[in-house]
Protein backbone atom coordinates (compact mmCIF):
# COMPACT_ATOMS: atom_id res chain seq x y z
CA UNK A 1 0.00 0.00 0.00
CA UNK A 2 1.42 3.43 -0.94
CA UNK A 3 1.47 6.06 1.76
CA UNK A 4 -0.89 9.03 1.20
CA UNK A 5 1.01 12.31 0.57
CA UNK A 6 1.01 14.63 3.59
CA UNK A 7 -1.72 17.28 3.66
CA UNK A 8 -0.73 20.77 2.48
CA UNK A 9 -0.56 22.22 5.98
CA UNK A 10 1.69 19.39 7.15
CA UNK A 11 3.91 19.78 4.07
CA UNK A 12 4.26 23.49 4.75
CA UNK A 13 4.93 22.94 8.44
CA UNK A 14 7.80 20.64 7.53
CA UNK A 15 9.12 23.04 4.89
CA UNK A 16 9.03 25.95 7.35
CA UNK A 17 10.88 23.88 9.95
CA UNK A 18 13.46 22.98 7.29
CA UNK A 19 13.96 26.64 6.27
CA UNK A 20 14.42 27.54 9.93
CA UNK A 21 16.82 24.67 10.63
CA UNK A 22 20.60 24.84 10.34
CA UNK A 23 20.60 22.54 7.28
CA UNK A 24 23.06 24.02 4.80
CA UNK A 25 21.42 24.76 1.40
CA UNK A 26 22.44 22.71 -1.62
CA UNK A 27 22.97 25.51 -4.10
CA UNK A 28 23.50 25.45 -7.87
CA UNK A 29 25.65 27.61 -10.18
CA UNK A 30 24.48 31.20 -10.76
CA UNK A 31 21.53 31.40 -13.17
CA UNK A 32 21.71 34.51 -15.38
CA UNK A 33 18.61 36.63 -15.90
CA UNK A 34 16.86 35.45 -19.06
CA UNK A 35 15.56 37.64 -21.87
CA UNK A 36 12.04 39.06 -21.56
CA UNK A 37 9.78 36.27 -22.87
CA UNK A 38 6.71 38.16 -24.13
CA UNK A 39 6.61 39.16 -27.79
CA UNK A 40 4.44 41.63 -29.71
CA UNK A 41 4.83 45.40 -30.03
CA UNK A 42 6.60 47.26 -27.20
CA UNK A 43 4.31 50.13 -26.20
CA UNK A 44 5.24 53.27 -24.27
CA UNK A 45 3.34 53.53 -20.99
CA UNK A 46 3.61 57.27 -20.54
CA UNK A 47 1.19 59.55 -22.28
CA UNK A 48 -2.17 61.24 -22.38
CA UNK A 49 -4.96 59.52 -20.50
CA UNK A 50 -2.52 58.26 -17.91
CA UNK A 51 -4.83 59.01 -15.00
CA UNK A 52 -3.62 55.88 -13.22
CA UNK A 53 0.05 56.82 -13.48
CA UNK A 54 1.51 53.37 -13.97
CA UNK A 55 4.51 54.64 -15.94
CA UNK A 56 5.70 56.65 -12.95
CA UNK A 57 4.99 53.87 -10.46
CA UNK A 58 6.83 51.23 -12.49
CA UNK A 59 9.77 53.54 -13.20
CA UNK A 60 10.21 54.02 -9.41
CA UNK A 61 9.94 50.32 -8.54
CA UNK A 62 10.64 47.64 -11.15
CA UNK A 63 12.21 49.36 -14.18
CA UNK A 64 15.90 48.67 -14.76
CA UNK A 65 17.54 52.06 -14.17
CA UNK A 66 19.60 53.25 -17.14
CA UNK A 67 23.38 52.78 -16.91
CA UNK A 68 23.54 49.90 -14.41
CA UNK A 69 24.55 47.05 -16.71
CA UNK A 70 20.92 45.94 -16.85
CA UNK A 71 20.85 44.15 -13.48
CA UNK A 72 19.56 46.30 -10.65
CA UNK A 73 16.08 47.64 -10.02
CA UNK A 74 14.95 50.51 -7.77
CA UNK A 75 13.48 47.89 -5.38
CA UNK A 76 15.66 45.74 -3.09
CA UNK A 77 15.90 42.00 -3.71
CA UNK A 78 17.49 39.04 -1.90
CA UNK A 79 20.82 38.38 -3.58
CA UNK A 80 19.99 41.11 -6.15
CA UNK A 81 18.24 38.36 -8.13
CA UNK A 82 15.02 40.33 -8.84
CA UNK A 83 12.53 37.51 -9.44
CA UNK A 84 9.40 39.72 -9.56
CA UNK A 85 7.55 40.35 -12.85
CA UNK A 86 4.47 42.48 -13.49
CA UNK A 87 1.36 41.87 -15.59
CA UNK A 88 -0.77 44.94 -16.26
CA UNK A 89 -4.55 44.65 -16.56
CA UNK A 90 -5.69 48.00 -17.89
CA UNK A 91 -9.23 49.34 -17.90
CA UNK A 92 -10.39 52.74 -19.17
CA UNK A 93 -8.50 55.78 -17.84
CA UNK A 94 -4.97 54.47 -18.47
CA UNK A 95 -2.42 55.66 -21.02
CA UNK A 96 -2.81 52.49 -23.16
CA UNK A 97 -6.05 51.00 -24.53
CA UNK A 98 -7.80 48.54 -22.17
CA UNK A 99 -6.29 45.05 -22.24
CA UNK A 100 -3.75 42.71 -20.71
CA UNK A 101 -0.06 43.60 -21.01
CA UNK A 102 3.25 42.13 -19.81
CA UNK A 103 5.71 44.69 -18.44
CA UNK A 104 9.31 44.60 -19.68
CA UNK A 105 11.50 46.11 -16.92
CA UNK A 106 14.50 46.45 -19.27
CA UNK A 107 12.77 48.69 -21.82
CA UNK A 108 10.04 50.10 -19.52
CA UNK A 109 7.51 49.13 -22.21
CA UNK A 110 4.26 47.14 -22.14
CA UNK A 111 3.58 44.21 -24.50
CA UNK A 112 -0.10 43.57 -25.31
CA UNK A 113 -1.30 40.07 -24.43
CA UNK A 114 -5.03 40.25 -25.11
CA UNK A 115 -8.27 42.15 -24.78
CA UNK A 116 -10.03 43.45 -21.68
CA UNK A 117 -13.45 42.21 -20.51
CA UNK A 118 -16.43 44.28 -21.65
CA UNK A 119 -17.41 45.45 -18.17
CA UNK A 120 -13.89 46.21 -16.92
CA UNK A 121 -13.78 48.99 -14.31
CA UNK A 122 -11.58 52.05 -14.94
CA UNK A 123 -8.02 52.02 -13.61
CA UNK A 124 -5.25 49.43 -13.57
CA UNK A 125 -4.64 46.15 -11.78
CA UNK A 126 -1.04 44.93 -11.53
CA UNK A 127 -0.48 41.24 -10.84
CA UNK A 128 2.97 40.54 -9.42
CA UNK A 129 4.47 37.13 -10.17
CA UNK A 130 7.80 35.52 -9.26
CA UNK A 131 10.09 33.32 -11.32
CA UNK A 132 11.86 30.80 -9.13
CA UNK A 133 14.97 29.44 -10.78
CA UNK A 134 17.54 32.14 -9.92
CA UNK A 135 16.56 32.44 -6.27
CA UNK A 136 16.28 28.67 -5.80
CA UNK A 137 19.69 28.10 -7.45
CA UNK A 138 21.21 30.64 -5.05
CA UNK A 139 19.42 29.81 -1.80
CA UNK A 140 18.30 26.17 -2.23
CA UNK A 141 15.60 25.11 0.25
CA UNK A 142 15.69 28.56 1.90
CA UNK A 143 14.49 30.29 -1.29
CA UNK A 144 10.70 30.20 -1.02
CA UNK A 145 10.32 32.58 1.97
CA UNK A 146 12.74 34.96 0.22
CA UNK A 147 10.56 34.91 -2.90
CA UNK A 148 7.59 35.92 -0.73
CA UNK A 149 9.63 38.67 0.95
CA UNK A 150 10.85 39.89 -2.44
CA UNK A 151 7.27 40.06 -3.76
CA UNK A 152 6.33 42.07 -0.65
CA UNK A 153 9.18 44.54 -1.24
CA UNK A 154 8.13 44.89 -4.91
CA UNK A 155 4.47 45.47 -3.95
CA UNK A 156 5.58 48.20 -1.53
CA UNK A 157 7.84 49.89 -4.07
CA UNK A 158 5.10 49.89 -6.71
CA UNK A 159 2.46 51.07 -4.24
CA UNK A 160 4.67 53.91 -2.97
CA UNK A 161 5.57 54.81 -6.56
CA UNK A 162 1.85 55.13 -7.33
CA UNK A 163 0.82 56.86 -4.10
CA UNK A 164 -0.84 59.16 -3.32
CA UNK A 165 -3.82 58.24 -5.43
CA UNK A 166 -5.96 55.66 -3.70
CA UNK A 167 -3.76 52.65 -4.52
CA UNK A 168 -4.86 49.41 -2.81
CA UNK A 169 -2.74 46.30 -2.30
CA UNK A 170 -3.86 42.68 -1.88
CA UNK A 171 -1.42 40.15 -0.48
CA UNK A 172 -3.95 37.34 -0.06
CA UNK A 173 -5.70 36.97 -3.44
CA UNK A 174 -6.30 33.36 -4.44
CA UNK A 175 -3.54 32.04 -6.71
CA UNK A 176 -5.98 30.51 -9.21
CA UNK A 177 -7.81 33.83 -9.59
CA UNK A 178 -4.56 35.79 -9.94
CA UNK A 179 -3.33 33.39 -12.64
CA UNK A 180 -6.65 33.48 -14.50
CA UNK A 181 -6.83 37.29 -14.29
CA UNK A 182 -3.30 37.65 -15.67
CA UNK A 183 -4.02 35.07 -18.41
CA UNK A 184 -1.43 32.60 -17.11
CA UNK A 185 -1.67 28.84 -16.48
CA UNK A 186 -1.27 27.59 -12.91
CA UNK A 187 2.30 26.67 -12.05
CA UNK A 188 1.50 22.95 -12.11
CA UNK A 189 0.33 23.12 -15.75
CA UNK A 190 2.84 25.71 -16.95
CA UNK A 191 5.66 23.55 -18.34
CA UNK A 192 3.26 21.21 -20.16
CA UNK A 193 1.47 24.17 -21.76
CA UNK A 194 4.40 26.50 -22.35
CA UNK A 195 7.56 24.33 -22.44
CA UNK A 196 10.90 26.15 -22.50
CA UNK A 197 9.62 29.19 -20.60
CA UNK A 198 10.10 30.22 -16.97
CA UNK A 199 7.17 29.42 -14.69
CA UNK A 200 5.67 32.54 -13.10
CA UNK A 201 3.76 32.26 -9.82
CA UNK A 202 1.39 35.13 -8.99
CA UNK A 203 1.57 36.22 -5.34
CA UNK A 204 0.16 39.75 -4.99
CA UNK A 205 -1.89 42.40 -6.78
CA UNK A 206 -2.27 46.18 -6.75
CA UNK A 207 -5.22 48.26 -7.77
CA UNK A 208 -4.56 51.76 -9.13
CA UNK A 209 -7.77 53.75 -9.55
CA UNK A 210 -8.00 56.44 -12.21
CA UNK A 211 -6.92 59.76 -10.69
CA UNK A 212 -9.23 60.80 -7.89
CA UNK A 213 -11.87 58.51 -9.36
CA UNK A 214 -14.42 56.37 -7.61
CA UNK A 215 -13.62 53.89 -4.85
CA UNK A 216 -12.20 50.64 -6.25
CA UNK A 217 -14.53 47.75 -6.96
CA UNK A 218 -14.51 45.18 -4.19
CA UNK A 219 -13.29 42.45 -6.55
CA UNK A 220 -11.08 44.07 -9.21
CA UNK A 221 -9.73 40.70 -10.40
CA UNK A 222 -13.09 39.00 -11.02
CA UNK A 223 -13.92 40.42 -14.47
CA UNK A 224 -10.40 39.64 -15.75
CA UNK A 225 -10.46 36.08 -14.43
CA UNK A 226 -13.40 35.18 -16.70
CA UNK A 227 -11.39 35.83 -19.89
CA UNK A 228 -9.68 33.02 -21.80
CA UNK A 229 -5.92 32.70 -21.37
CA UNK A 230 -3.87 35.45 -23.06
CA UNK A 231 -0.96 35.24 -25.55
CA UNK A 232 1.94 32.79 -25.16
CA UNK A 233 5.52 33.60 -24.06
CA UNK A 234 8.41 32.85 -26.42
CA UNK A 235 10.44 29.73 -25.45
CA UNK A 236 14.01 30.51 -24.44
CA UNK A 237 17.20 28.47 -24.30
CA UNK A 238 18.10 27.56 -20.76
CA UNK A 239 14.63 28.08 -19.27
CA UNK A 240 13.38 25.76 -16.55
CA UNK A 241 13.72 22.45 -18.36
CA UNK A 242 15.73 20.68 -15.68
CA UNK A 243 13.65 20.64 -12.51
CA UNK A 244 15.78 20.25 -9.47
CA UNK A 245 14.09 18.77 -6.43
CA UNK A 246 14.31 22.17 -4.70
CA UNK A 247 12.79 24.06 -7.63
CA UNK A 248 9.87 21.67 -7.80
CA UNK A 249 9.38 21.78 -4.03
CA UNK A 250 9.46 25.62 -3.92
CA UNK A 251 6.95 25.85 -6.78
CA UNK A 252 4.60 23.39 -5.08
CA UNK A 253 4.88 25.09 -1.67
CA UNK A 254 4.25 28.58 -2.99
CA UNK A 255 1.31 27.48 -5.08
CA UNK A 256 -0.25 25.53 -2.23
CA UNK A 257 -0.23 28.50 0.14
CA UNK A 258 -2.33 30.61 -2.27
CA UNK A 259 -5.28 28.22 -2.31
CA UNK A 260 -7.67 30.16 -0.03
CA UNK A 261 -10.41 32.02 -1.94
CA UNK A 262 -11.12 35.74 -1.62
CA UNK A 263 -8.90 38.80 -1.39
CA UNK A 264 -8.64 41.86 0.83
CA UNK A 265 -7.41 45.21 -0.44
CA UNK A 266 -5.65 47.60 1.93
CA UNK A 267 -4.75 51.19 1.08
CA UNK A 268 -1.07 52.08 0.63
CA UNK A 269 0.32 55.20 2.26
CA UNK A 270 3.57 56.98 1.52
CA UNK A 271 5.33 58.01 4.75
CA UNK A 272 6.04 61.74 5.06
CA UNK A 273 9.19 62.95 3.26
CA UNK A 274 9.27 59.98 0.85
CA UNK A 275 9.61 61.60 -2.56
CA UNK A 276 9.93 60.08 -6.02
CA UNK A 277 13.63 60.90 -5.80
CA UNK A 278 13.97 58.86 -2.58
CA UNK A 279 12.28 55.90 -4.28
CA UNK A 280 14.62 56.25 -7.24
CA UNK A 281 17.83 56.51 -5.22
CA UNK A 282 17.11 54.03 -2.39
CA UNK A 283 19.92 51.51 -1.96
CA UNK A 284 20.96 48.95 0.62
CA UNK A 285 23.90 50.38 2.56
CA UNK A 286 27.01 48.22 2.70
CA UNK A 287 27.39 46.47 6.07
CA UNK A 288 30.51 48.51 6.99
CA UNK A 289 28.40 51.69 6.72
CA UNK A 290 25.78 50.40 9.12
CA UNK A 291 27.57 50.71 12.45
CA UNK A 292 26.42 54.07 13.83
CA UNK A 293 23.28 54.05 15.98
CA UNK A 294 20.37 55.95 14.47
CA UNK A 295 19.00 58.86 16.52
CA UNK A 296 16.38 57.41 18.90
CA UNK A 297 13.54 59.59 17.58
CA UNK A 298 14.29 58.60 13.96
CA UNK A 299 14.53 54.92 14.92
CA UNK A 300 11.16 55.20 16.67
CA UNK A 301 9.61 56.73 13.55
CA UNK A 302 10.89 53.99 11.24
CA UNK A 303 9.78 51.29 13.71
CA UNK A 304 6.30 52.85 13.82
CA UNK A 305 6.20 52.94 10.01
CA UNK A 306 7.11 49.24 9.76
CA UNK A 307 4.46 48.34 12.33
CA UNK A 308 1.71 50.38 10.65
CA UNK A 309 2.45 49.46 7.01
CA UNK A 310 0.03 46.51 6.89
CA UNK A 311 -2.81 45.36 9.15
CA UNK A 312 -2.14 41.75 8.11
CA UNK A 313 1.56 41.47 8.95
CA UNK A 314 3.74 40.33 11.83
CA UNK A 315 4.72 42.74 14.62
CA UNK A 316 8.02 44.62 14.66
CA UNK A 317 10.66 45.25 17.33
CA UNK A 318 14.01 47.06 17.29
CA UNK A 319 17.24 45.70 18.79
CA UNK A 320 19.61 48.43 19.95
CA UNK A 321 22.99 48.43 21.68
CA UNK A 322 24.75 51.31 23.45
CA UNK A 323 24.35 52.27 27.13
CA UNK A 324 20.83 50.86 27.48
CA UNK A 325 20.71 47.91 25.10
CA UNK A 326 17.40 46.18 24.57
CA UNK A 327 14.64 45.01 22.31
CA UNK A 328 12.09 47.79 21.91
CA UNK A 329 8.59 48.00 20.49
CA UNK A 330 6.50 51.10 19.87
CA UNK A 331 4.80 50.34 23.23
CA UNK A 332 7.99 49.97 25.33
CA UNK A 333 10.83 47.59 26.12
CA UNK A 334 10.30 43.91 25.29
CA UNK A 335 13.59 42.75 26.82
CA UNK A 336 16.78 44.26 28.22
CA UNK A 337 20.25 43.32 26.90
CA UNK A 338 21.93 43.42 23.53
CA UNK A 339 20.10 41.07 21.13
CA UNK A 340 22.21 41.98 18.09
CA UNK A 341 24.91 39.26 18.46
CA UNK A 342 22.17 36.63 18.72
CA UNK A 343 20.41 38.11 15.69
CA UNK A 344 23.71 37.91 13.77
CA UNK A 345 23.97 34.21 14.60
CA UNK A 346 20.35 33.57 13.62
CA UNK A 347 20.69 35.49 10.32
CA UNK A 348 22.89 32.84 8.68
CA UNK A 349 25.87 34.02 10.75
CA UNK A 350 26.15 37.48 9.15
CA UNK A 351 28.58 38.92 11.71
CA UNK A 352 28.05 42.58 10.75
CA UNK A 353 24.53 42.43 12.21
CA UNK A 354 26.06 42.09 15.69
CA UNK A 355 27.37 45.67 15.52
CA UNK A 356 24.70 47.28 13.31
CA UNK A 357 23.34 50.61 14.58
CA UNK A 358 19.95 48.98 15.17
CA UNK A 359 18.12 45.95 13.81
CA UNK A 360 14.38 45.93 13.16
CA UNK A 361 12.84 42.45 13.22
CA UNK A 362 9.40 41.27 12.10
CA UNK A 363 8.25 38.36 14.24
CA UNK A 364 5.27 36.03 14.54
CA UNK A 365 4.37 33.19 12.10
CA UNK A 366 4.26 30.16 14.46
CA UNK A 367 5.78 26.82 13.50
CA UNK A 368 2.27 25.41 12.91
CA UNK A 369 0.88 28.47 11.07
CA UNK A 370 -1.77 27.66 8.44
CA UNK A 371 -0.67 28.09 4.80
CA UNK A 372 -2.42 31.45 4.33
CA UNK A 373 -0.70 32.88 7.43
CA UNK A 374 2.73 31.72 6.27
CA UNK A 375 2.12 33.50 2.98
CA UNK A 376 0.72 36.73 4.46
CA UNK A 377 3.38 36.91 7.21
CA UNK A 378 6.21 36.89 4.67
CA UNK A 379 4.56 39.06 2.01
CA UNK A 380 3.46 41.65 4.58
CA UNK A 381 6.86 41.62 6.33
CA UNK A 382 8.55 42.27 2.97
CA UNK A 383 6.04 45.01 2.24
CA UNK A 384 6.58 46.66 5.63
CA UNK A 385 10.38 46.40 5.36
CA UNK A 386 10.18 48.01 1.92
CA UNK A 387 8.15 50.94 3.25
CA UNK A 388 10.42 51.25 6.31
CA UNK A 389 13.54 51.16 4.11
CA UNK A 390 12.47 54.15 2.00
CA UNK A 391 11.21 56.01 5.06
CA UNK A 392 14.61 55.49 6.73
CA UNK A 393 16.28 56.77 3.55
CA UNK A 394 14.05 59.85 3.55
CA UNK A 395 15.05 60.52 7.19
CA UNK A 396 18.76 60.39 6.31
CA UNK A 397 19.32 56.90 7.77
CA UNK A 398 21.01 53.91 6.13
CA UNK A 399 19.29 50.54 5.85
CA UNK A 400 19.73 46.97 4.59
CA UNK A 401 17.14 44.17 4.60
CA UNK A 402 18.02 40.83 6.23
CA UNK A 403 16.17 37.86 4.77
CA UNK A 404 17.50 34.47 5.92
CA UNK A 405 16.73 33.47 9.51
CA UNK A 406 17.55 30.13 11.14
CA UNK A 407 16.58 28.94 14.61
CA UNK A 408 15.29 32.47 15.23
CA UNK A 409 12.65 31.50 17.78
CA UNK A 410 12.43 34.91 19.41
CA UNK A 411 9.55 33.92 21.69
CA UNK A 412 11.51 30.98 23.13
CA UNK A 413 14.59 33.18 23.60
CA UNK A 414 12.43 35.58 25.62
CA UNK A 415 11.15 32.76 27.84
CA UNK A 416 7.81 32.02 26.14
CA UNK A 417 6.62 28.68 24.80
CA UNK A 418 8.88 27.60 21.93
CA UNK A 419 7.54 27.53 18.37
CA UNK A 420 5.09 30.44 18.54
CA UNK A 421 7.04 33.55 17.66
CA UNK A 422 9.69 33.38 14.95
CA UNK A 423 11.60 36.12 13.16
CA UNK A 424 10.63 36.24 9.47
CA UNK A 425 12.43 39.37 8.23
CA UNK A 426 14.78 42.13 9.36
CA UNK A 427 16.03 45.58 8.46
CA UNK A 428 19.37 46.85 9.74
CA UNK A 429 19.44 50.62 10.33
CA UNK A 430 22.18 53.12 11.04
CA UNK A 431 22.71 56.83 11.32
CA UNK A 432 25.32 58.75 9.38
CA UNK A 433 28.75 58.75 11.08
CA UNK A 434 29.21 61.56 13.62
CA UNK A 435 31.48 64.34 12.32
CA UNK A 436 35.18 63.56 13.02
CA UNK A 437 36.33 65.47 16.15
CA UNK A 438 39.48 66.71 14.36
CA UNK A 439 37.51 68.11 11.42
CA UNK A 440 36.82 71.85 11.45
CA UNK A 441 33.45 72.53 13.04
CA UNK A 442 30.78 73.89 10.74
CA UNK A 443 28.99 76.99 12.01
CA UNK A 444 25.62 76.21 13.61
CA UNK A 445 22.84 76.12 11.05
CA UNK A 446 20.30 78.95 11.27
CA UNK A 447 16.94 77.84 12.68
CA UNK A 448 14.51 76.66 10.02
CA UNK A 449 11.68 79.11 9.41
CA UNK A 450 8.58 77.71 11.03
CA UNK A 451 6.10 80.49 10.37
CA UNK A 452 5.64 80.90 14.13
CA UNK A 453 9.08 82.04 15.25
CA UNK A 454 9.60 83.30 18.79
CA UNK A 455 10.65 86.93 19.10
CA UNK A 456 13.89 87.61 20.99
Ligand X SMILES: Cc1cc2nc3c(=O)[nH]c(=O)nc-3n(C[C@H](O)[C@H](O)[C@H](O)COP(=O)(O)O)c2cc1C
Strand order in the sheet with 332-336: 332-336, 326-329, 315-320, 358-364, 422-430, 398-402
Among 357, 371, 403, 431, binds ligand X (CB under 6 A): 403
Q: Would you report the helix, strand and coil content of the chain in percent, each value rounded to 5?
A: 30, 20, 50
- For ligand X, which stretch binds (CB under 6 A), given 19-27, 74-82, 321-329, 331-339? 74-82
Please enumerate in sequence order all residues whose Cβ is within 8 A of that of 276, keeping only pairs 6 or more positions apart, or say none.
56, 60, 161
Beta carbon of residue 233, minimum distance to ligand X (angstroms, whole number):
25
How many residues of this chain interact with ligand X, rule: CB under 6 A? Answer: 20
- The nearest distance, CB 297 to ligand X, in angstroms, is 25
286 belongs to the binding site for ligand X (CB under 6 A): no
Site string for ligand X, 145-184 (x = CB under 6 A): -x--xx--x-------------------------------
Question: What is the smallest separation between the CB atom of 65 and ligand X, expressed in angstroms?
Answer: 10
In the complex with ligand X, the residue whose CB is nearer, 83 or 121, is 83
Minimum separation from the CB atom of position 324 to ligand X (A): 27
Q: Rule CB under 6 A: choose which of 95, 133, 256, 404 binds ligand X.
A: 404
Please count the other Cβ atoms lying within 10 Å of the Cβ belonging to residue 243: 13
Burial class (CB in 10 A: 0-12, 13-18, 19+), 392: buried
Indicate whether 402 belongs to the interface with ligand X (CB under 6 A). yes
Tell me if 290 contacts ligand X by CB under 6 A. no
Give yes or no for residue 76 binding ligand X (CB under 6 A): yes
Q: Which is nearer to ligand X, 251 or 425 (CB)?
A: 425
* Closest to ligand X by CB, 144 or 224: 144
Query: Under the criterion CB under 6 A, does residue 80 sit at the interface with ligand X?
Result: yes
Rounded CA-CA distance 159/155 in Å is 6
Does residue 61 belong to the site contacting ligand X (CB under 6 A)? no
The region that residue 211 occupies, defined by phi over 0 for left and psi between -120 and 50 for alpha, beta otherwise, is left
Least Å from the CB of residue 401 to ligand X: 4
* DSSP track, 61-84: TTSPPTTSTTT--SS--GGG---E
72 counts as binding ligand X under rule CB under 6 A: yes
Site string for ligand X, 406-425 (x = CB under 6 A): --------------------
Minimum distance of ligand X from residue 389's CB (angstroms): 8
In the set 20, 134, 310, 400, which binds ligand X (CB under 6 A)? 400
Q: How far is the CB of 217 from ligand X (least distance, A)?
A: 31
β-pairing verdict for 200-208 and 315-320: unpaired
Least spacing, CB of residue 288 vs ligand X, in Å = 11
Task: Print the binding letters for residues 348-367 with ligand X: x by CB under 6 A, - otherwise.
Answer: --x-----------------
78: contact with ligand X by CB under 6 A = yes
Residue nearest to ligand X (CB): 403
* Cβ–Cβ under 8 Å, residues 216 and 168: yes
**Distance (Å, rounded) from C-alpha 427 to C-alpha 314?**
14
Q: Which residues pair with 326 in a beta bridge?
A: 320, 336
Minimum gap (Å) between residue 71 Cβ and ligand X:
9
Q: Which is nearer to ligand X, 258 or 284 (CB)?
A: 284
Q: Does 85 bind ligand X (CB under 6 A)?
A: no
- Which of these, 243, 225, 108, lies nearest to 176 by C-alpha position? 225
CA distance 318 to 298: 12
Helix (H) or strand (E) holding 118: none
Q: How far is the CB of 352 from ligand X (least distance, A)?
A: 8
Pick the binder of ligand X from 125, 401, 410, 423 (CB under 6 A): 401
Q: In Å, how far are 66, 132, 272, 274, 299 from 393, measured between CA atoms?
A: 21, 29, 11, 8, 12
Q: Are 270 and 60 in contact, with CB atoms under 8 Å apart?
A: no
Contacts of 186 (CB under 8 A, 6+ apart): 175, 176, 179, 255
- Between CA 155 and CA 28 the distance in angstroms is 28
Closest CA to 281 of 432, 151, 157, 434: 157
Give the residue among 411, 414, 419, 426 at the shortest CA–CA distance from 343.
Answer: 426
Residues 246-285 that bind ligand X (CB under 6 A): 283-284
Of 371-390, binders to ligand X (CB under 6 A) are 382
What is the distance between the alpha carbons of residues 94 and 123, in angstroms, rounded to a whole number?
6
Nearer to ligand X, 81 or 223 (CB): 81
Shortest distance in whole angstroms from residue 303 CB to ligand X = 18
Return residues touching ligand X (CB under 6 A): 72, 76-80, 146, 149-150, 153, 283-284, 347, 350, 382, 400-404
Amino acid sequence: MTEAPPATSELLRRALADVRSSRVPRTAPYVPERAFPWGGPALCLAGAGGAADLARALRRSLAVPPGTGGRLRPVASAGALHPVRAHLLLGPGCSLPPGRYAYDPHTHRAHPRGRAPADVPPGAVVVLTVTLSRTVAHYGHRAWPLLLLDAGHAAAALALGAAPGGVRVSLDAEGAELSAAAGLPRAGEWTARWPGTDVELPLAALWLPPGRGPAPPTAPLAAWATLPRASDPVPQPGAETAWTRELDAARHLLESMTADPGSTWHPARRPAHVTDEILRTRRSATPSDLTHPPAPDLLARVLATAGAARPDGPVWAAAVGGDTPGLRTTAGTLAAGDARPTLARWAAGQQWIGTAGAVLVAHGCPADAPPALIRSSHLAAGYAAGVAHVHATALGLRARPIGSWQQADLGAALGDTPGHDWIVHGLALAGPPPPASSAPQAPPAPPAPSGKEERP
